[in-house]
Amino acid sequence: MSAPRRVRADARRNSDALLEAATEVFATAGVDAPVREVALRAGVGVGTVYRHYPKRSDLVAAVFRHQVDACADAAPLLAAEHPPAEALERWLARFVDFLATKRGLAAALHSGDPAFDALPAYFDARFRPALTELLAAAVAAGEVRDDVPATDLLHAVAHLCLPAEGVQPDHARRMTAVLARGLRT
């Protein structure tokens, strides 16, 4: 069996630039934005986009996983820098920001494209443990109540982030802050 192939440094930079550019483009124009716009923002050619991500759905799924990882990986950093309840509140605010930038993702996830099939499980596998750790630390410190499971909290925040007509853009963040304060003992 051969060793895993190493990725060239320039290919890694291009891939990282594509993910960052696609994140920005998708946040403003949605996941159906032209691929050439992503390429332009990343400073690469359209061919480079398709070399890394042969289908649009591959790029969308990669951006989603990249952002999920960044949000989930923030949990232990916040826990190390802040008291438990504050770390929990800061992570919930970051989770809101993650959800708020997903223009068109729900439709993509329900499109039937097999590229998206594994994403809900990935979402759960990364976010639930991150939130469970933060919640457990805050409970152990006596700062929050112990009767709200992480899964319920994830669902509650996700529902607060659903688009609603006539609601201000910062509504989900404000309501999540109210929810987090309601967890306090």
- Which residues contact residue 101 at a Cβ distance below 8 angstroms, ignoring those fewer than 6 apart? 23, 26, 27, 67
Please report, in angstroms and rounded to a whole number, the separation of the first and last CA atoms in the chain: 55
The list of the chain residues with pLDDT below 70 reads 1-7, 103-105
Q: What is the CATH number of domain 7-54?
A: 1.10.10.60
pLDDT at 8: 73
What is the C-alpha to C-alpha distance for residues 174 and 120, in angstroms, rounded to an integer? 26
CATH number of this structure's domain 57-183, picked from the four choices 1.10.260.40, 1.10.599.10, 2.40.70.10, 1.10.357.10? 1.10.357.10
Residues of the chain with CATH 1.10.10.60: 7-54
Q: Which residues is 184 bridged to in the sheet?
A: 144
What does the angle CA 117 – CA 122 – CA 124 come to, to the nearest 5 degrees? 115
Specify whether the CB–CB gap between 72 and 134 falls below 8 A: no
Query: What pLDDT is recorded for position 165?
Result: 83
Per-residue pLDDT, 73: 98
Query: How far is C-alpha 184 from the chain's CA centre?
Result: 25
Following CA atoms 21, 76, 134, 182 in sequence, which dihedral angle do they give, to the nearest 10 degrees? -60
